[in-house]
């Protein structure tokens, strides 16, 4: 049998975070960085921050773009003749296009990894979401270690939530002072600035080593980031290349995401969890904006924007506490488990998160806290379990997420008309509560499922794109 340190004796996701020798122990970085200074795991904190910050800034602005729609609803009614039912149907059609679009177009991203996929070559809209969400989560795996994943996913989710909650607050005041069309122009300006910064500073985070190496002796494996500066370095042009082509055919990526969705419980859990909480959030924001226009509230656009303040505060407080606590907890849990980390160790925090989501659908500000907690656990669990198939897994997750949102938006108007807004959200809260069972099942059966799907995971991992070396 292989030695205990061999990854072959562990199911996917199980790793050794601590090496013990007698009374002494040494924390092990996972994944293990090479000695190449251009290995993204060896990048300086500033270089990582610039790269990750640019992806997160794009997340922020595109979620602002999507979630300020309802602030202009009064203008849509008076100038364009839109009804609330038409507004929800249009939103549902957008989600339908996004769900189908991610299956049709992301496979080409596997063949040609371009900066335009990040900055948006085409006019911004819901169709940009499938690109940037995949980019951000994969960037986290490329740049950061396992014990940092929850914090980085937390930052990503916070920027997403900041766009969804903080964006409407700012947009409300823009509508009042400058008119509803100007809130779209402001987003176009910010995305233009982001485009310029990306063109000059954003690097490919996929590790693509140079073929020529200075000395054979430099091929040793690094320990605690011993980096060999004598190795050949990439030029600025190579680091900022606009297009990186792969040798991998794209055909399998048209169907592989759905096979992965139904093959791996961790992927299905993340898709259902992430999909439902964002669908409920969308319904919450849409209904709030519509009903606050009428008696007895008669809110102005700026007041409707401030309706999102509670959600922003909830996400802000959760981001400062939950992801760091999650990373700290898994290190402690691994120490108590003989240095062995199991991804299921992260799932404990999803239980209070699900309870908070249920309450938050009735008390809006709490939902922000529950959203960060639940989504951070789900995304980080998937990242830890199956890092080598994240690209296809995220396509499946985005497809399911937008499928849920599409169904909710199309059904929402007759739903509210039939049950009333109070009973509708009581029912939604109970549906949200049901999702608490998913992490409990994975805590019991998750490791067994990872072990049984190990061979299938390696097969799909071998079919992921391999970049051409410089």
Please tell me the distance from the alpha carbon of residue 470 to that of residue 451, in angstroms, as a whole number.
36
Strands (E) in 39-185, as ranges, are: 112-114
pLDDT of res. 443: 94
The confidence band for 216, taking pLDDT boundaries of 50, 70 and 90, is very low
Residue 31 within any structural domain of the chain: no
**The pLDDT of residue 273:** 92
Predicted confidence band of residue 49 (pLDDT cuts 50, 70, 90) = very high
Query: For the segment 63-74, what is each residue's pLDDT rounded down to a tens digit?
Result: 888 778 777 777
Q: Percent of the chain, pLDDT > 70?
A: 81
In a domain, 258, yes or no: yes
* pLDDT at 245 exceeding the cut of 80: no
Kindly state whether residue 28 falls inside one of the protein's structural domains: no
Check whether 470 has a pLDDT greater than 50.
no
- Asked if the model's pLDDT at residue 25 lies above 50, the reply is yes
Mean pLDDT of 244-254: 69
Instruction: Tell whether the model's pLDDT for residue 126 goes beyond 50.
Output: no
- Asked if residue 14 is part of any domain, the answer here is no
Contact of 106 with 465, CB cutoff 8 Å: no
The CA distance from 58 to 163, in Å, is 10
Question: Is 54 part of any domain?
Answer: yes
What pTM, to 2 d.p., does this model score? 0.81
Residue 273: which of 165, 382, 164 has the closest Cα?
382
Q: Is residue 211 very low, low, confident or very high in pLDDT (cuts 50, 70, 90)?
A: low
Region 161-173: what's the mean pLDDT? 87
Q: Which pLDDT band, with edges at 50, 70 and 90, does 3 fall under? A: very low
Residue 216 lies inside a defined structural domain of this protein: no
The reported pLDDT for the residue numbered 232 is 63
Per-residue pLDDT band for 454 (boundaries 50, 70, 90) equals: very high
Contact (Cβ atoms closer than 8 angstroms) between residue 98 and residue 84:
no
Q: What is the mean pLDDT of residues 75-101?
A: 75
Lowest average pLDDT, out of 164-178, 220-234, 451-465, goes to 220-234
Per-residue pLDDT tens digits for 300-338: 878 888 888 888 888 899 999 999 999 999 999 998 998
Burial of 236 from C-beta contacts in 10 A (0-12 / 13-18 / 19+): exposed
Count of structural domains, the chain: 1
- What pLDDT sits at residue 120? 39
Does residue 5 sit in helix, strand or coil?
coil
* Angle CA 32–33–39, to nearest 5: 150
Beta bridge partners of 113: 244
Q: Which burial class, exposed, middle or buried, applies to 69 when counting CB atoms under 10 A from its CB (0-12, 13-18, 19+)?
A: buried
User: What range defines the domain where residue 303 resides?
Assistant: 40-210+235-462
Residue 226 counted as domain residue: no
Instruction: Give residue 323's pLDDT.
Output: 93
Rounded percentage of the chain residues whose pLDDT exceeds 90: 21
Whether residue 440 has pLDDT greater than 90: yes
The CATH number given to whatever domain includes residue 449 is: 1.20.1250.20
Structure tokens of 387? 């890092």
Q: Would 22 be classed as within a structural domain?
A: no
Which pLDDT belongs to residue 256?
85
Residues 275-295: what's their mean pLDDT? 78
Distance between CA 285 and CA 171 in Å, rounded?
A: 14
pLDDT at 414 over 70: yes
Give the DSSP per-residue string, 144-189.
S-GGGHHHHHHHHHHHHHIIIIIHHHHHHHHHHHH-HHHHHHHHHH
Q: What is the DSSP letter of 352?
A: H
pLDDT number for residue 390: 85
């Amino acid at each position: 049998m292989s030695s205990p340190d061999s990854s072959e004796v562990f199911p996917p996701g199980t790793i050794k975070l601590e090496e013990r020798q007698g009374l002494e122990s040494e924390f092990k970085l996972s994944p293990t960085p090479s000695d190449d200074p251009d290995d993204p795991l060896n990048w300086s904190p500033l270089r990582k921050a610039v790269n990750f910050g640019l992806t997160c800034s794009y997340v922020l602005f595109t979620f602002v773009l999507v979630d300020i729609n309802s602030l202009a609803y009064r203008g849509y009614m008076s100038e364009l003749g839109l009804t609330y039912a038409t507004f929800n149907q249009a939103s549902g059609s957008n989600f339908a296009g996004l769900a189908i679009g991610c299956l049709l177009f992301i496979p080409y991203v596997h063949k040609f990894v371009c900066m335009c996929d990040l900055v948006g070559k085409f006019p911004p809209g819901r169709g940009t979401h499938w690109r940037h969400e995949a980019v951000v989560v994969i960037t986290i795996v490329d740049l950061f270690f396992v014990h940092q994943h929850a914090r980085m996913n937390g930052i990503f989710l916070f920027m997403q939530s900041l766009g969804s909650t903080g964006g409407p607050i700012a947009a409300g005041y823009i509508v009042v002072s400058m008119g509803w069309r100007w809130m779209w122009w402001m987003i176009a300006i910010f995305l233009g600035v982001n485009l310029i910064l990306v063109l000059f500073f954003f690097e490919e985070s996929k590790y693509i080593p140079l073929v020529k190496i200075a000395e054979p002796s430099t091929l040793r494996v690094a320990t605690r980031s011993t980096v060999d500066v004598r190795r050949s370095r990439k030029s600025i042009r190579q680091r900022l290349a606009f297009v990186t082509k792969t040798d991998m055919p794209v055909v399998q990526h048209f169907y592989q995401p759905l096979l992965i969705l139904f093959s791996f419980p961790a992927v299905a859990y993340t898709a259902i969890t992430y999909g439902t909480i964002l669908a409920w959030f969308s319904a919450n924001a849409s209904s709030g904006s519509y009903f606050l226009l009428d008696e007895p509230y008669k809110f102005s656009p700026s007041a409707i924007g401030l309706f999102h303040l509670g959600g922003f505060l909830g996400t802000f407080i959760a981001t400062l506490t939950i992801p760091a606590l999650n990373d700290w907890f898994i290190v402690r849990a691994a120490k108590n488990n003989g240095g062995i980390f199991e991804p299921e160790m992260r799932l404990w925090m999803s239980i209070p998160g699900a309870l908070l989501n249920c309450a938050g659908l009735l008390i809006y500000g709490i939902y922000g806290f529950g959203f960060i907690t639940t989504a951070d656990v789900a995304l980080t669990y998937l990242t830890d379990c199956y890092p080598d198939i994240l690209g296809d897994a995220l396509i499946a997750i985005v497809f399911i997420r937008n499928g849920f949102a599409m169904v909710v938006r199309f059904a929402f108007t007759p739903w509210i008309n039939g049950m009333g807004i109070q009973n509708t959200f009581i029912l939604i809260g109970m549906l949200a509560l049901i999702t608490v069972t998913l992490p409990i099942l994975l805590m019991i059966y998750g490791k067994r499922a990872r072990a049984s799907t190990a061979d299938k995971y390696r097969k799909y991992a071998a079919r992921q794109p391999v970049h051409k070396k410089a």
